[in-house]
């Protein structure tokens, strides 16, 4: 008979795959037609497959902040909160976010904490560092132009509502 620990590992791998799918269908996809503008001024992006549901809700502009929640069978299972901004001296804000979206699409999927460890394209470089694993993690990403930081964001998250009482 499988133990709870084995079952959790199996669900963790399912979660990892689902987060990767949701990321590629969410903000990184830049499909703004599928984004819902809320009455409170925030934006919501959703994605569903089977028992899994992804809900990303954010405010911004500059700076921006938000949170992603993954539900399993209608119950919150995992979440990440994030906050960041483009430097006030950067004139091409849209270009910075286009490069960020490309970085978010480039991740190899093994650790779906935003984008890959690094991505360089011309004068732009995306860097991402984190500690932890899918169950509990924190990190920071940045974009540099000619080695000068023009964007940063911090994020943290992990499993939620896992203890059976």
Tens of pLDDT along 54-88? 999 999 889 999 999 999 999 999 999 999 999 99
Strand-pairing partners, residue 69, are 55, 79
Strand order in the sheet with 43-49: 36-37, 43-49, 52-59, 64-72, 75-86, 148-159, 136-145, 124-133, 118-121
**What pLDDT does residue 37 have?**
94
Question: At residue 44, does pLDDT exceed 50?
Answer: yes
CA pseudo-torsion sign 139, 143, 148, 150:
negative
Choice between 47 and 108, residue whose per-residue pLDDT is larger:
47
Share of the chain above pLDDT 90, in %: 72
pTM: 0.88
pLDDT band at 9 (very low <50, low <70, confident <90, very high): very low
């Amino acid at each position: 008979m499988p133990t709870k620990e084995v079952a959790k590992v199996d669900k963790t791998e399912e979660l990892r795959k689902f987060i990767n799918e949701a990321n590629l269908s969410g903000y990184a996809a830049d499909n703004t037609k599928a984004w819902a503008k809320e009455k409170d001024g925030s934006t919501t992006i959703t994605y569903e497959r089977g028992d899994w549901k992804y809900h990303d809700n954010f405010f911004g502009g500059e700076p921006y902040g938000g949170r992603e929640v993954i539900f399993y069978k209608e119950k919150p299972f995992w979440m990440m909160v994030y906050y960041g901004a483009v430097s006030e001296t950067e004139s091409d804000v849209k270009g910075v976010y286009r490069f960020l979206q490309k970085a978010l699409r480039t991740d190899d999927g093994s650790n779906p904490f935003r984008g890959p460890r690094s991505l360089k394209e011309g004068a732009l470089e995306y860097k991402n560092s984190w500690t932890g694993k899918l169950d509990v993690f924190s990190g920071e990403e940045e974009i540099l132009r000619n080695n000068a930081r023009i964007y940063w964001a911090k994020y943290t998250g992990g499993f939620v509502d896992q203890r059976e009482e």
